[in-house]
Structure 1
Amino acid sequence: MPISPDQGSTGGGDTVTFTGTGLANATAVLFGAKSATITANTPTSVSAVLPSGAGVVDATVRTPGGTSNPVSFYYVPPPVIVDVSQSSGPVAGGATITLTGRGLDTTESVTFGATDVTPTVVSDSELTVVSPAHAAGSVSLVVTAQGGAATAADPFAFVAPPTATGFSPLTGLPAGGTLVGITGTNLATTTGVTFGGVPATFAVLSDTRVAAIAPVHALGAVTVALTTTGGSATAPGTFLYLIG
């Protein structure tokens, strides 16, 4: 006797349907020793609300004519999110996020706020998902699997593209080492700063200010650019490497 679905949450609540013959006037549906609430019944099918449970149990239907042969039903524990590879991404979407945890192999959807995204399941402990386009701001990140739902400990932030409005000082030595203050907007998630394409050591001071140490570079004028999880921006003007 087929049962659909043949697995569900340990917390119960799913609707399960048995199909076969001689099922009219069902008096009970049992998952192991627990009774399920019957919601629909015809001579060829019985639908019931799954009770809570764990592991693999025998599911049976009782009618005035007897008890059906048992079929195996698998209780799936709820998913657990242990880590999210990054906690922010661009408002345009497109960031690939890796989630690790347990019970992820039956994941059906990942929700960013109210937006559902179809994930790529790698294993029971890992899945990846591409963030959708979304207005700037923080939203909950929820994984829904056959065993239930799990919410990441930290919200996911959609970050607007940065702007770089200026920097100071405007000059430095080819040997590097000059401390440069860069101003702009949406700089809190800065992941990199470059001088003429050369990466610089930096520190995020606020959403409007980043401090960077000019790297070693040949003499001449270079652009100062930064990258955040929301995108990239180049400051107006140039930084001049010269001999002091």
Structure 2
Amino acid sequence: MAAAAPAGAGTVQTTVATPDGTGSGSGFTYVFAAPAISSVVPNQGSVEGGNTVTLTGTGFTGATSVSFGGVAAAFIAVSATQVTAVAPAAPAGAVNVTITTPGGTSAGVPYTYVAAPVLSGVAPAQGPLAGGNTVTLSGTGFTGATAVHFGANAASSFTVVSPTQLTTSVPTGGPGPVAVTVTTPGGTSTQAVFYYYLGAPVLNAISPGSGQVAGGNSVTLTGANLLQATAVRFGATAASTYTIVSATEIRAVAPPGAAGTVPVTVTTPGGTSNGVTYAYLGVPVISGLVPGQGPSAGGTTVTLTGVGLTYTTAVLFGAVPAGFTVVSDTQLTTTTPPGVAGAVTVRVVTPGGTSIGLPYTRLDPPGI
């Protein structure tokens, strides 16, 4: 007698029923068809593993193991046609994914382990806040890149030129440095730095506007877009010391220079500023003093002649300062302060230094 076996699994007992009763039967074993995998999604992932992979195919019922290149993976049997597994860690390269059931082991389907990319350079490494400029990233492992980030901002477009080169359009951001990263199925790259810069710097003023030719004096520059300053120059000479106080202020130490005026500029990634005038001053020289004497009560107007008098900050009779008016670079007038009778040295002070003195004689009033 022939009979068609109903659906089932494993080994079952067969029996025959007749009007006279039910006879004892023999065992019957259901044999599973070997499973078959039609797809693995995604078909690549990090060498560190841990990502979820979906296997689709047939004959997955009763699955006992899922293997990635011989390494067992944790899995959940979702249905006869689908299983989800967690990829184990493995070296970079392709492996075969298989599934085993009581019906046997499937043929392998490729899955590729990918190492995390390495980012070694960004060129150019700076650009405007508005973005939009194209930069080239260099490194390794860029194949299959899925994202490029500048800080928290994703680049809207990028092109993988080769496994070692990628071009991308910079998104808006800044100001200042941000970390650039590349993401692939292998993970997220090491970081490189990109600088967002403001517009070209602008200088409005320098204070003080003059100093001695030996340099060494501190000056304050004010303006705009002064963050990220890379150089402060007095003419062609760079200041060896400067401090960025804010986007509108820099303090610098003037380097040595020759007597005369020079433009002071600030350079940032956004460009070089306009120049503001700074005067290097030699030590003033006084060559004449008229009249050379007067009453000890003071109040006499004296004319000093010489050179380098424009930036005079003080006229001293001995140690006593006197009021003065600068007439020109070669002449000034001063009013003598009172003092004891006798000779006193007159000197002129400017940011360039203090002059050598000339004598002035105070006279007592005549006796009666």
Equivalent residue in structure 2 for 1:189, among 294, 308, 311 = 311
TM-score under structure 1 normalisation? 0.74
Deviations 1:218-238 (A, max 9, x none): 3221100011222211233x1
Alignment of 1:161-200 (within 5 A): 161-200=283-322
Change (3 A) 1:93 1:35: farther
Q: Does 1:129 align with 2:252?
A: yes
By how many angstroms is 1:180 displaced? 0.9
Query: Please, which runs of 5 or more residues in structure 2 have no aligned partner?
Result: 1-117
One-letter amino acid of the counterpart of residue 141, structure 2: G
**CA separation in 1, counterparts of 2:342 and 2:352?**
30
- The one-letter code sitting in structure 2 at the alignment partner of 1:169 is P
Give a deviation string over 1:106-138, Cα, whole Å, max 9, x none: 212101111111343252132211111222222
The residue that corresponds to 2:225 in the other structure is: 103
Q: Deviations over 1:196-227 (max 9, x none)?
A: 11111111111111111112323221100011
Residue 193 of structure 1 contacts residue 227 of structure 1 at CA under 8 Å; is this kept in 2? yes
Shift of 1:159: 1.9
Give 1:43's match in structure 2, choosing from 144, 163, 183. Answer: 163
C-alpha distance in 1 between matches for 2:163 and 2:345? 77
Distance change (3 Å), C-alpha of 1:128 and 1:172:
same
Q: SS of the residue aligned with 1:133?
A: coil
- Answering whether residue 365 of structure 2 is matched by residue 240 of structure 1, we say no
The Cα shift of 1:150 comes to: 1.5
1:22 aligned to 138, 141, 144, which one? 141
Which SS does the other structure have where 1:151 is aligned?
A: coil
Among 190, 195, 202, the residue aligned to 1:80: 202
- How many pairs are equivalent? 235
When residues 89 and 166 of structure 1 are mapped into structure 2, their CA distance, relative to the original with a 3 A threshold, is same
CA distance in 1, matches of 2:157, 2:296: 78
Distance 1:145 1:16 in 2: 19
Native 8 Å contact 1:104 1:121 kept in 2? no
Pair 216,22 (structure 1): closer, same or farther in 2 beyond 3 Å: same
Counterpart of 1:117 (choices 228, 239, 246) is 239
Q: Tell which has more relative contact order, 1 or 2 (C-alpha 8 A, sep 6+).
A: 1
Change (3 A) 1:34 1:143: farther
Contact 1:77–1:148 (CA under 8 A) maintained in structure 2: no
Residues 168 and 17 of structure 1, relative CA distance in 2, 3 Å threshold: farther
Unpaired runs of at least 5, structure 1: none
Distance 1:112 1:53, change over 3 A: farther
**RMSD between superposed Cα atoms in Å:** 4.2
Give the C-alpha shift of residue 151 in structure 1: 2.1
Sort the Cα spacing of 1:178 and 1:100 in 2 relative to 1 into closer, same or farther, 3 A. same
Given candidates 155, 173, 177, the residue that maps to 2:277 is 155
Q: CA separation of 1:169/1:147 partners in 2, compared to 1, >3 Å: closer, same or farther?
A: same
Distance 1:207 1:46, change over 3 A: farther
Provide the secondary structure at the position in 2 that maps to 1:84: strand
From 90, 94, 97, the counterpart of 2:212: 90
